[in-house]
Structure 1
Amino acid sequence: MTDPSVPAARRPGEQVLAALDIGAPNLSPADASPHTFPGGGRWRTEIPSCEGPEALAVVLKEASRLDVPIHRISQGSGVWMLTDTEITEMVEAAAERDIELCLFTGPRGTWDIGGSTRTDSRGAGLRARGHDALAGCVEDAVRATELGVRCLLVADEGVLWTLHRARAAGILPAGTTLKVSALIGPVNPAAYAVYEHLGADSVNVPSDLTPAHLTEIRRVSAAPMDMYIEAPDDLGGYVRMYEIAELIRRGAPLYLKFGLSKAPGIYPYGHHMRELTLATARERVRRGRLALDLLARHGADTDMAPLGSRLPGTLRRFELPA
């Protein structure tokens, strides 16, 4: 419910443009998402591409320095690119700050021997090719959760459904959340609803979706949405900071992901990329500060979900096989 004592958020440049008789049309209440996170709040934050304990330490230090609230930290290279000691260190560091840690399962199609991913059509992209790749993703999921990880990032519909079934069967902890990667993110409401039914607890949509697309999705699904406010170049390099308030209004419950454009790719990470990885980790937090400052200037920084909250609420699922 909106607090009547809180001033209404304004759009960028609204007062000046209205004074010049070129104000924007009124926002339609019918466009706004009616959904929130369980426990309250319409948005959470995520720092992506945090590739190991050292990068995580940099992110946590910079977040404290710049006062950037963080709900989730995610990694992109994959569980198999980390030792047990590194995973445990990351789990413990995130737990100390009550931040959800999300690690990517693998292997992925773009890194195996499949030639179709290197054609102009990109073939099946990151999806898990064959039974062995599916088994590798399951192995990653079991190993990570046994070490205390409670959020898994997936880039394949079959992997998602398999891990959801494993969670329902008690093979994975019941509180494990499953996040769909932007690299296979849905671009229409029917596809978004399918991912929810397959077991997704949050779904990363491509950053080129329009506000109207988000409204269309919210008419069929309340599953939390992830969106790069600034996307890496391989995902388009879009920078949508001035749209954050409208993206929240249309897409809530929404994770604001602070990515980084104009930066070299770092997957799969190794120590040969250490300086770049630490520098870009630090800059992602700074980008988060810039985005949150914009929200504050526009009076739209209310309704953040409580720090430490991570669960998605009750979602709709396909019936599990007997």
Structure 2
Amino acid sequence: MTAHPHPFVPGLPALESLDLAGTGAAPPASAHAFPDGGAWRLEIPSVEGPDALHTVLAAADEYDVPLHRVSQGSGVGMLTDAEITAMVQASTERDVELCLFVRPGANWDVGAAAASAAGSVSARSRGTTQLAAGVAQAERAVGLGVRSLLVADEGLLWVLHELRERGDLPADTQFKVSVMAAPANPAALRVQEFLGADTVNVPSDLTTHQLAELRAASAATLDFYVEAPDNIGGFVRHHEIAEIVRVCAPVYVKFGLRNCPDVYPAGGHIAATVGAAARERVRRARIGLDELARTPDAPRMSAVGERAQPALQRFRRP
């Protein structure tokens, strides 16, 4: 990978004038984009039900934040049919993609490995029963109009992709790999692409050089927490948003929320927390977008309502 001079970074000219700019070369810009030519889209995660979704939509109007996708983490199984239908309707009316998590996973199960210091299976499907439960939740969600599913297990990802390939799931269904199964190296990202992933959460603690290495290995759309929840590191990288987009495009920039309790599974007992956090995520997105706007030649946003993904490679069955 060839070295590249640093792009514009706010504050860097002042450091250069004092001979404090450093010596490192910047990673290369991505050669990829969304099909409409845009470099980035915006996602608000942890939108846990119809009330939270309405809160996010209202806050997006208030803060003038473009919404491409909202995602939910409690899982399809924690929503009623009526709640899913209401979310599908509200997101369709605003031309926003709705992504629901297909669970359960090991971290909700009776096994101890999910809580162990080493060898954790995280949120991956544990045994055939959980694998089948994930398939059933996917089938239920698409039957109610959902066309974007969040997956935290490579086996479940491949199964759902195979079902999509043979027409058991709609051809326009998209699969998004959860940060709980995030690939941390180029080979792992390529494997998830081959297994059927359309968009892939990558770890938020990767350097921009490491992100460039992942991008060089795959054209799959990346999902990146510009601000990460505490349980995946609590990183706040608003000041790097332009460089992250430059290196990762096409990328969904995501605004989680540091210093916020884990709300999964959400419900009426913590509705006030869920709603307040949802609104604050949109405000954080406004902060990130303002940082991006202050960058000369800021990367182009993909149009709101666009959900097409780059053409990708898949494993071929014998």
User: Shorter-chain TM-score category?
Assistant: over 0.9
Deviations 1:21-70 (A, max 9, x none): 33355855x61110001111111110000000000000000001100001
- Counterparts of 1:96 and 1:249, CA distance in 2: 31
RMSD in angstroms over aligned alpha carbons? 1.5
- For residue 195 of structure 1, the aligned residue among 168, 192, 209 is 192
- Counterparts of 1:300 and 1:236, CA distance in 2: 30
1:162 aligns with 2:159: yes
- Counterparts of 2:23 and 2:114, CA distance in 1: 44
Q: In the alignment, what sits opposite 1:104?
A: 101
Which runs of no fewer than 5 residues in structure 1 stay unpaired?
A: 1-7
CA change 1:107–1:26 in 2 (3 A) is: closer
Report % sequence identity: 53
1:292 aligns with 2:296: no
> TM-score normalised to the size of structure 2?
0.95
AA aligned opposite 1:15: P
Q: In the alignment, what sits opposite 1:209?
A: 206
- Counterparts of 2:31 and 2:252, CA distance in 1: 16
Contact 2:245 2:299 in 1 (8 A): no
Contact 1:142 1:172 in 2 (8 A): yes
CA change 1:308–1:27 in 2 (3 A) is: farther
- For residue 14 of structure 2, the aligned residue among 13, 16, 36 is 16
- For residue 139 of structure 2, the aligned residue among 117, 127, 142 is 142
- Counterparts of 1:43 and 1:25, CA distance in 2: 29
Q: In the alignment, what sits opposite 1:240?
A: 237
SS at match of 2:176: strand
Matched length: 313
Contact 2:204 2:228 in 1 (8 A): yes
Kindly state the Cα deviation for residue 14 of structure 1 after the two structures are TM-superposed.
2.4
- Counterparts of 2:245 and 2:134, CA distance in 1: 32
1:71 aligns with 2:84: no
1:113 aligns with 2:116: no
Q: In the alignment, what sits opposite 1:93?
A: 90
Kindly state the Cα deviation for residue 121 of structure 1 after the two structures are TM-superposed.
2.0
Equivalences for residues 232-271 of structure 1 within 5 A: 232-271=229-268
- Counterparts of 1:119 and 1:24, CA distance in 2: 41
Structure 1 runs of 4+ aligned residues shifted over 4 Å read 24-28
- Counterparts of 1:300 and 1:24, CA distance in 2: 23
Q: In the alignment, what sits opposite 1:303?
A: 300
Which runs of no fewer than 5 residues in structure 2 stay unpaired?
A: 1-5
